Chain A
């Protein structure tokens, strides 16, 4: 150890260290331009000059390469040091007067203009590039020449093949003298040097060879890209190891082959976006302003290359007109092999258009060119309607060519309108809505595993076994099973987990590792030390609320010891940072100002637990759902409100105390309400996992709506499959079926429900830990098209019945008409019933099969044969089935006069009314839910305006409710075909098993507690509590006073408010805490 004085203070350093290194350790700032931690110091720029006193006299030395010695005295900031540095900066500025970094430095030193003759150079000869190139193991460049002739150059000033174009020189150049372009043009002899494209940002941005694949990657650890890392080419570099503080980088690591013994395999390889480069006419490969929808996603994202600022690539101008082209790489056999529909593109294009308008303002013109608008998902039709309302233009036309406009960066398209007119239009930018396809590597994997694929290279599955591959024990979920969106993928995933787990249920918990529990810090009696984290939520909050102002305001509040803002507080990396901050700053209370506690409180509480804090020392304030989103047009008021809410939360959290949670047994029984396909699938899955399950069915038979269905599009006989499933239920000892049974009442809560079942005039009680709602739906009885007045006018299900009964009349038909969207996508029911297009087309084909001479017409608004259902649409057209489009304003008219059925419809091609005489009219009537308000009340679960149940989260929690222990599947969630009902039944069961398998759960700590001393034994609490939590203490010193059972208590606070003695406290929501919020509300800002 060497001890010396640095600016009068005693400091210590190791033998062989330089002044600069020690100064850095002690936080003393010495400016330098030529120093790099990983390189040997060279003393080139002289800016790090400091004053050295050796005991007798002072002199100037460069801190970067002057070794320390015992007893020396260093001054880094004296008058003369400053004057010396000023002169150096002035000289450098004279050499390179236009370098921004030097100009800024000059400004700091008070230099307006150098007194010396300026040279227009931009290299300060710091030599960083040369030293870095040497470190890379290349030495392609060197300082050549002497004196004023000195410069950085390659040997003989020739482009060198030694240079690998790694860009390291450019990355360390402080002045911008070396750039990628310069490397390209003057240094390397390699061709076309480009930054490494960031896969995450779809190549719109570069990335480094050491990188984190994307911000929310799990694990959130950087990786080294061996294909581009210089070390793996020359053996040099390893600069990263010098910067890693924990020696985590090991360049000698090799790939390992790990063998795992598993009982089942789930395939979730996903899809790859279609590459439109091969479509020459779209100019995607040549024109920067033709981008893919995936690139658009990144452009619109707050974490994207432009931070959500909408600009077009060619000139970074804000586009005024954007067009989306649908079905690029989907529904196309001419230009590519993907004849299926990719299912998700219509919806994402609308979403992108709406978000683009949100980002860029109303004057942005968004146009979507499409063939059929397929918004068949839950609440999607409403979103489509809303998009039309806010001015997104929808044009039904498939455009074939994009022409660059000569002399500008704009793009011209020619298209034919619905009326048949040819139009020319120019756009600033065009987004290609590219489809989904299976990666060739996945196809190879499937081959290796011996898994059958479909025509479109998706994994082949059966309708009643939608997650089983053709190989036993191998399951599939997500877009490899067929193109699908997030909710459907999440449902698949839960179902695949259940199926894979069913075979392994006996092995449950045999290889479980218990996570390490961070011991809880005792904060009792400590002064509050509050940390406030304000979330930007991308632009969701920060786009309206002035987040830095709220953060800085939080700093002024009492007891606040730490404050910051996060881009996304809920991301895993931020979570880890937060828990470190809590530990580092010894915080004992935390406030997060972000979205809603209803969805994110548990996540942040987990962060507290990981930091060793009791999770109740936390308060969230809702500055997104209840602020930025609802006061979009009033940023100032929203910011004020956010400040108020933060102040209220801070004053409440200061009074929070650590709370304990009671443990609760989970009753190992499940109740499934509804005995249709979804309910039965859920029940079978639960039973397979080893849980006793009760199906409660109102009707007198199992089967639900499937009893009315003839066959699936794959040709499977529904009744045969259905009776197989019913047999399985009946034979399964773990499943009990209660037919003709109604649910009369439900008491209790997650893990401990008590339901009253009524059947045959009697009532029985069922105790269960979880409940699955599978109450289903039914076909709408049409009120139009003369339904019910003529036996030749049927619903789709009635036609299925005729097929099942092998009705001989079907062979006699000459003409049949299907009318789509009967009761769907209108004012009363603004949703798409999802199944009807496929059903009608399949039935039309069946009619053709029964009677090949028949003329079949399908009158539709948009054909929505999503995914590989598209094949039957293609087949139907090939077989001569005629499709005629109508609009909601101009519906077909059914005329019954003269005993004949005549339908008049305006032909969309001719634009003229067309009369069709027919023998059969099939109405594709809407799927309507069995809206069950009583059930909704029993379990406190919401229904939407259409009568479908509202799931916990549209994307991430589609098969469960926000109410713990209650799950959802089938038509009660949204209209869906059999395969999707089976999948969701299994998914709901899968989610339920995650709860049942825990066996015990912890109740909330926010429960009521009595102070027996103050209790007057009036028994009001006992009489008001709906959960029977309070009772009288039966022995001990407080006999006769009230007590509260924390397991039964739901923390509603009814007893607290009604206790006239003030003897009951509600932990977490106590009087003090609520008063604190009230008082805080009125404090002057």
Chain B
């Protein structure tokens, strides 16, 4: 469907692993940031309007 794989992340963190949680948040944020804005799949407001 043309979605970059790095846009969707999946992880498994236990409720005690706050450190891992923070690591994953940082990692996900960085990877998504590296891809740039999601333009391909998002509905385009302009066309709708």
**In the docked arrangement, what's the CA distance between A942 and B14, Å?**
8
Q: In chain A between 949 and 999, which residues have their CB closer than 8 angstroms to a CB of chain B?
A: 950, 962
Q: In chain B between 2 and 34, which residues have their CB closer than 8 angstroms to a CB of chain A?
A: 14-16
> Nearest chain-B residue to A942 (Cβ)?
B16
**In the docked arrangement, what's the CA distance between A950 and B16, Å?**
8
Shortest CB–CB separation between residue B48 and chain A, in angstroms? Answer: 13
A950 partner residues in chain B, CB cutoff 8 A: 16
**In the docked arrangement, what's the CA distance between A943 and B16, Å?**
7
Q: Is A556's beta carbon under 8 Å from chain B?
A: no
Shortest CB–CB separation between residue B20 and chain A, in angstroms? Answer: 11
**In the docked arrangement, what's the CA distance between A944 and B14, Å?**
11
B15 partner residues in chain A, CB cutoff 8 A: 942, 962
Task: Assign chain A's interface to a size class.
Answer: under 10
> Nearest chain-B residue to A940 (Cβ)?
B15
Shortest CB–CB separation between residue B30 and chain A, in angstroms? Answer: 16
**In the docked arrangement, what's the CA distance between A617 and B22, Å?**
32
Shortest CB–CB separation between residue B40 and chain A, in angstroms? Answer: 16
User: Interface digits, A933-948 against B, CB 8 Å rule (1 contact, 0 not)?
Assistant: 0000000001110000
**In the docked arrangement, what's the CA distance between A942 and B13, Å?**
12
**In the docked arrangement, what's the CA distance between A944 and B16, Å?**
7
Q: In chain A between 455 and 483, which residues have their CB closer than 8 angstroms to a CB of chain B?
A: none
Number of B residues near A (Cβ < 8 Å) is 3
B14 partner residues in chain A, CB cutoff 8 A: 942
A962 partner residues in chain B, CB cutoff 8 A: 15
B16 partner residues in chain A, CB cutoff 8 A: 942-944, 950
**In the docked arrangement, what's the CA distance between A950 and B15, Å?**
10
User: Interface digits, A994-1033 against B, CB 8 Å rule (1 contact, 0 not)?
Assistant: 0000000000000000000000000000000000000000
Shortest CB–CB separation between residue A369 and chain B, in angstroms? Answer: 34
**In the docked arrangement, what's the CA distance between A108 and B15, Å?**
58
User: Interface digits, A363-393 against B, CB 8 Å rule (1 contact, 0 not)?
Assistant: 0000000000000000000000000000000
**In the docked arrangement, what's the CA distance between A943 and B17, Å?**
9
Shortest CB–CB separation between residue A652 and chain B, in angstroms? Answer: 21
A944 partner residues in chain B, CB cutoff 8 A: 16
**In the docked arrangement, what's the CA distance between A962 and B15, Å?**
11
Shortest CB–CB separation between residue A830 and chain B, in angstroms? Answer: 14
**In the docked arrangement, what's the CA distance between A950 and B14, Å?**
12
Shortest CB–CB separation between residue B12 and chain A, in angstroms? Answer: 13
**In the docked arrangement, what's the CA distance between A466 and B6, Å?**
58
A942 partner residues in chain B, CB cutoff 8 A: 14-16
Shortest CB–CB separation between residue A783 and chain B, in angstroms? Answer: 26
Shortest CB–CB separation between residue B16 and chain A, in angstroms? Answer: 4
Shortest CB–CB separation between residue A298 and chain B, in angstroms? Answer: 31
User: Interface digits, A798-813 against B, CB 8 Å rule (1 contact, 0 not)?
Assistant: 0000000000000000
Between A942, A944, A962, the greatest number of chain B beta carbons within 10 A of the residue's beta carbon is seen for A942
**In the docked arrangement, what's the CA distance between A407 and B14, Å?**
59
Shortest CB–CB separation between residue A306 and chain B, in angstroms? Answer: 32
**In the docked arrangement, what's the CA distance between A943 and B14, Å?**
10
> Nearest chain-B residue to A1084 (Cβ)?
B45
> Nearest chain-A residue to B25 (Cβ)?
A630
**In the docked arrangement, what's the CA distance between A727 and B31, Å?**
63
**In the docked arrangement, what's the CA distance between A942 and B16, Å?**
6
**In the docked arrangement, what's the CA distance between A942 and B18, Å?**
12
Shortest CB–CB separation between residue A307 and chain B, in angstroms? Answer: 30
> Nearest chain-B residue to A1082 (Cβ)?
B42
**In the docked arrangement, what's the CA distance between A767 and B14, Å?**
27
Shortest CB–CB separation between residue A995 and chain B, in angstroms? Answer: 21
> Nearest chain-A residue to B14 (Cβ)?
A942
**In the docked arrangement, what's the CA distance between A427 and B14, Å?**
46
> Nearest chain-A residue to B43 (Cβ)?
A1082
> Nearest chain-B residue to A630 (Cβ)?
B22
> Nearest chain-A residue to B16 (Cβ)?
A942
> Nearest chain-A residue to B22 (Cβ)?
A630
**In the docked arrangement, what's the CA distance between A733 and B7, Å?**
61
User: Interface digits, A907-944 against B, CB 8 Å rule (1 contact, 0 not)?
Assistant: 00000000000000000000000000000000000111
**In the docked arrangement, what's the CA distance between A628 and B12, Å?**
24
**In the docked arrangement, what's the CA distance between A944 and B15, Å?**
10
A943 partner residues in chain B, CB cutoff 8 A: 16
Shortest CB–CB separation between residue A518 and chain B, in angstroms? Answer: 34
**In the docked arrangement, what's the CA distance between A943 and B15, Å?**
9
**In the docked arrangement, what's the CA distance between A690 and B28, Å?**
53
Shortest CB–CB separation between residue A404 and chain B, in angstroms? Answer: 46
Shortest CB–CB separation between residue A1078 and chain B, in angstroms? Answer: 12
Q: In chain A between 515 and 559, which residues have their CB closer than 8 angstroms to a CB of chain B?
A: none
**In the docked arrangement, what's the CA distance between A942 and B15, Å?**
7
Shortest CB–CB separation between residue A99 and chain B, in angstroms? Answer: 56
**In the docked arrangement, what's the CA distance between A910 and B16, Å?**
46
> Nearest chain-B residue to A943 (Cβ)?
B16
> Nearest chain-B residue to A944 (Cβ)?
B16
> Nearest chain-B residue to A949 (Cβ)?
B16
**In the docked arrangement, what's the CA distance between A1022 and B6, Å?**
34
Shortest CB–CB separation between residue B26 and chain A, in angstroms? Answer: 12
**In the docked arrangement, what's the CA distance between A1014 and B8, Å?**
31
**In the docked arrangement, what's the CA distance between A950 and B17, Å?**
12
Shortest CB–CB separation between residue A629 and chain B, in angstroms? Answer: 11
User: Interface digits, A67-106 against B, CB 8 Å rule (1 contact, 0 not)?
Assistant: 0000000000000000000000000000000000000000
**In the docked arrangement, what's the CA distance between A302 and B16, Å?**
29
> Nearest chain-A residue to B15 (Cβ)?
A942
**In the docked arrangement, what's the CA distance between A944 and B17, Å?**
9
Chain A to chain B: the 5 pairs with minimum beta-carbon distance, closest first: A942-B16, A942-B15, A950-B16, A943-B16, A944-B16
Interchain Cβ contacts under 8 Å between A and B, 7 examples: A942-B14, A942-B15, A942-B16, A943-B16, A944-B16, A950-B16, A962-B15
